[in-house]
Structure 1
């Protein structure tokens, strides 16, 4: 049996009754392209799970439910550290991700918007989600989704 990895897919070639079969195993962890700045801190899934005190499968569920977004950095799913506050997912992160997803924004577009400097806030929307401007970020996300 021969294994090959192609991005999110792993293929296996096997022989069965003289025929070559190609089996495809799709990763269960949803990720998107890494559109973050190279110096933006991220953490792998096990570290994220440890930080918020849950099983790795719970972080997988948060990713599948769209309450978190992971980027594929060095072929490893990574979650931006700014999505966390202390030992939990920052309060407004799941909501803003849902608003933008419902508005048709891709995961990449969502990350680009959240991590881009915005002089009118001031700063980045993802940073404002941790302070008194969180509701303003939510309002803007809702307006953008219309």
Structure 2
């Protein structure tokens, strides 16, 4: 499933310069944070964009980094990881991103590990 198959109309996207402004960081620091998997990006209209839901209180969602590592360990790339996080997951009973926002990271990561 490609990122283009995600119901992108239901996702609010931020560009990297918008993230730099949100976090009050340099664009170079935002690129390092992206490389460190503090969040994931997808190419949208030629530009790398990140779901706004990956940020809470002007900081990256703390439980996202470990979850992205689990998804990458399961063989998913950034686009596939974003798709999975924003698609309803039967075993969780909701979208994984919503469960992460509710503090249910252990459950999300357990399911993510089964995707391999």
Q: What TM-score do the two structures reach when normalised by structure 1?
A: 0.69
Q: What's the secondary structure of 2:14's corresponding residue? A: strand
Task: Check conservation: 1:121, 1:133, Cα contact below 8 A.
Answer: no
Q: What's the secondary structure of 2:34's corresponding residue? A: helix
Structure scoring higher RCO (CA < 8 A, sep ≥ 6) equals 2
More strand by share: 1
Larger radius of gyration: 1
More helix by share: 2
- Residues 75-86 of structure 1 mapped to structure 2, 5 A cutoff: 75-86=46-57
* Number of equivalent positions: 114
Q: What's the secondary structure of 1:79's corresponding residue? A: strand
Task: Check conservation: 2:67, 2:105, Cα contact below 8 A.
Answer: no
1:6 is matched with none
Task: Check conservation: 2:15, 2:50, Cα contact below 8 A.
Answer: yes
Picking from 7, 30, 38, the partner of 1:59 is: 30
The CA RMSD over aligned residues, in Å, is: 1.9
Unaligned residue ranges in structure 1 (runs of 5+): 1-31
CA distance in 1, matches of 2:103, 2:54: 16
Matched, 1:132 2:93: no
Q: What's the secondary structure of 2:67's corresponding residue? A: helix
Q: What TM-score do the two structures reach when normalised by structure 2?
A: 0.84
Q: Offset of 1:46 from its aligned partner?
A: 1.1
- Residues 26-65 of structure 1 mapped to structure 2, 5 A cutoff: 34-39=4-9, 40-65=11-36
Q: Offset of 1:35 from its aligned partner?
A: 4.6
Matched, 1:121 2:95: no
CA distance in 1, matches of 2:105, 2:17: 27
